[in-house]
Amino acid sequence: MSLLSVSHLKAGYGPINVLHDVELTVEAGEIVVMLGANGAGKTTTMRAISGMIGRSGEVHFEGADIARATPDAIVRAGIAQVPQGRGTFPELNVEDNLRCGAYIRSDKEIDADIDRWFDVFPRLRERRAQRAGSLSGGEQQMLAIARALMARPKLLLCDEPSLGLAPLITQELFAVIERLNREMGLSVLLVEQNANLAMHMAHRVYLIETGRIVASGSAAELSADDSIRKAYLGF
Amino acid sequence: MALFLQRLVDGLSSGSVYALIALGLVIIYRGTGHLNFAQGEMALFAAYVVYQMGEWGLPIGIALVIGLATGFVIGAVAEVGLVRPISKKSPFAVFIVTIGLFQLLNWLSGAIWGDQVLPNSGVGSKQQQYPSLFPDQPDDFVKVFGAAIRYQSLGVLLLTLVITGLLFLLFNKTKFGLAMRAVASNAESAKLVGIRVNTVLMVSWGLAAAIGALGGVVFAGINNSVSLGLMFTVFIYGSAAATLGGFDSPGGAVIAGLAIGVIENMAAGYIGFIGQEMKLAVAFIVILVVLMVKPSGLFGTAKVERV
């Protein structure tokens, strides 16, 4: 059984349908990357999985049907999303942002987890009392990821983490995601426009175009296919 | 000295009411970015409910709880039934809807309790006075440096400070307060971390209306009566306090509310030509000057965000 399996997923905004028939799976312990151009439906797919927009079709997480669940129920089930454009709470300080990430939890290990993510992202520890809105883009992205991880998710959804970041910072972030995947078996579904960097860490890749998955396979398989490489990967 | 002290305490006492109304406005503004034009009339309705409980012979403590609960329910129902569905269509329309709610609540109060000043033995009121939260007989005061400081005035001020302190604890030390701040900051992301945003907004409106209701009951107590026009000027002063304090700062709203109360009383007392009729204008001139220098209000945050 896949950790996440999506089929016949349709979603959109009001009368406009963006996703027509999206099918994808994420196995436990995998990093799956979805590539596509602007407007292909990457963000819409993420928002549909998280329950942020109306959708139809089947979405199963650990075997349970979550296609009609509310966003908070989906977070509780174990899916945390890092939204596009970071989505931090700009008026709240760094530590409160992390506490919000642990909103669904009531255990005693929240402080220990905050410390843990401060170890992974030392820059955040230095800025723990600063407002999130005053951080740099890279720091905000780190904060957004750490906040999502505070929920102790089984699956992390990352929506274009590289957006607006210098390549070096993006590399640093991707290295952290790979490390979390290796060390704690965190499963990741990451969407990107930036094919080059993301494909390096992907176990599997999906290509999405105008609301449909048009190709899938390992990174090696897709880059070996000339027509796909030219049309979608741009190298 | 005695006169100064007297005016100071009187100013702080009416300022407390402005502060409570302003607090309600700020809580709603922080939560949903709306200006609740009906804040004053929600408080008016609750003030009438407390009067009615007094008529039925309930002690003030119980009457107050019922009044605040009524305020909470009005606020929560307004959010769920009116504000939420309409703000999806147009955020600006919400402002118009709160004006409609203002008229509806005023009309409803008039339809139930009539347009007389209550209590009124002419329409069969059993109470001599509006139910007061604090001892309010003619001799309930202490002499300080020759000024007669009424228990009522001290009680009202103390109550406002306690409410402010409790709100501070709620916002900064509780999980629900964290959720309220998160929703105010970024509602989309609040959903993504599992906060039930709709519940938070409903409770925020309820809480805001209940705090406003307390302001209404206190003000009716200071006035010794309740009538349909009770909250009109109070609401204007309350909005002025919220603006002056910075619309997103609860502490600022309270300080500004108290300051406006003191300024209007001092100006009316000491500057001959101002008197009771012009004191509203004085308060607004002060606000205008402050806002020209600091547009986000005394304690408001100018939004800072790096991208």
Residue A26 sits at φ, ψ, to 5 deg, of -130, 125
> Which range is least confidently modeled, A104-118, B144-158, B175-189, B265-279?
B265-279
Compute the average pLDDT of residues B192-200.
Answer: 96
Query: Is residue A2 domain-resident?
Result: yes
- Nearby residues of B231 by Cβ (< 8 Å), 6 or more positions away: B21, B40, B41, B43, B44, B47, B216, B219
Residues of B in contact with A140 (CB under 8 A): 306
* pLDDT tier, A175 (very low <50, low <70, confident <90, very high otherwise): very high
Compute the average pLDDT of residues B86-113.
Answer: 91
Q: How does DSSP classify residue A220?
A: H
Residues of B in contact with A149 (CB under 8 A): none
Closest CA to A65 of A153, A8, A4, A19: A4
Tokens 């406006």 sit on residue: B260
Test the B interface: residue of A66, A88, A100 with most B CBs within 10 Å: A100
| Domain containing residue A104 | 88-152
Specify the pairing of strand A155-159 against strand A64-65. unpaired
Q: Does residue A52 belong to the interface with chain B, where contact is any CB pair within 8 Å?
A: yes
Please give the Cα distance from B211 to B205 (Å, whole number).
Answer: 10
The Cα-based distances of B273 to A98, B268, B269, B278 in angstroms read 57, 8, 10, 8
Sequence-separated contacts (24+) of A216-224 with Cβ below 8 Å: A216/A24, A219/A33, A223/A199
Is the bond preceding B119 in cis, omega lying within 30 degrees of 0?
yes
Residue in A with minimal Cα distance to B190: A100
Please give the helix or strand (H or E) that residue A101 lies within, else none.
helix A94-101
* Residue B246 predicted with pLDDT over 90: no
**How many Å lie between the alpha carbon of A219 and the closest alpha carbon of chain B?**
30
- pLDDT value for A227: 74
Whether residue A136 is found in the same domain as residue A158: no
**How many Å lie between the alpha carbon of A234 and the closest alpha carbon of chain B?**
27
Residues of A in contact with B303 (CB under 8 A): 90, 133
* Residue B302 predicted with pLDDT over 70: no
What is the interface pTM, i.e. ipTM, of the complex? Answer: 0.93
- Per-residue burial over B32-47, b if 16 or more Cβ lie within 10 Å, else e, is bebbbbbbbbbbbbbb
A223: domain CATH number? 3.40.50.300
- pLDDT value for A133: 94
**pLDDT, averaged across chain B:** 90
Beta-carbon separation of A137 and B188 below 8 A: no
Domain boundaries, chain B: 2-230
Q: Does residue A13 belong to the interface with chain B, where contact is any CB pair within 8 Å?
A: no
Q: Residue B184 has which token pair?
A: 């105010």
Query: Is residue A83 domain-resident?
Result: no
Compute the average pLDDT of residues A117-143.
Answer: 95
Compute the average pLDDT of residues A116-144.
Answer: 95
Residue A103 sits at φ, ψ, to 5 deg, of -55, -35
Residue A87: which of B184, B192, B306 has the nearest Cβ? Answer: B192
Whether residue A172 is found in the same domain as residue A141: no
The Cα-based distances of B202 to A161, B78, B105 in angstroms read 33, 9, 19
**pLDDT, averaged across chain A:** 92
* pLDDT tier, B303 (very low <50, low <70, confident <90, very high otherwise): low
* Residue B280 predicted with pLDDT over 80: no
Q: Does residue A131 belong to the interface with chain B, where contact is any CB pair within 8 Å?
A: yes
Beta-carbon separation of B178 and A75 below 8 A: no
Test the B interface: residue of A43, A75, A91, A157 with most B CBs within 10 Å: A91
Supply the pTM of this predicted model. 0.89
How many domains, in total, are found in chain A?
A: 2
Q: List, as ranges, residues 133-162 from A with C-beta within 8 Å of B.
A: 133-137, 140, 147-148, 151
Please give the helix or strand (H or E) that residue A19 lies within, else none.
strand A16-26
Residue A89: which of B189, B301, B306 has the nearest Cβ? Answer: B189
Residue in B with minimal Cα distance to A133: B305
* pLDDT tier, B306 (very low <50, low <70, confident <90, very high otherwise): very low
Residue finishing a domain among A115, A134, A152: A152
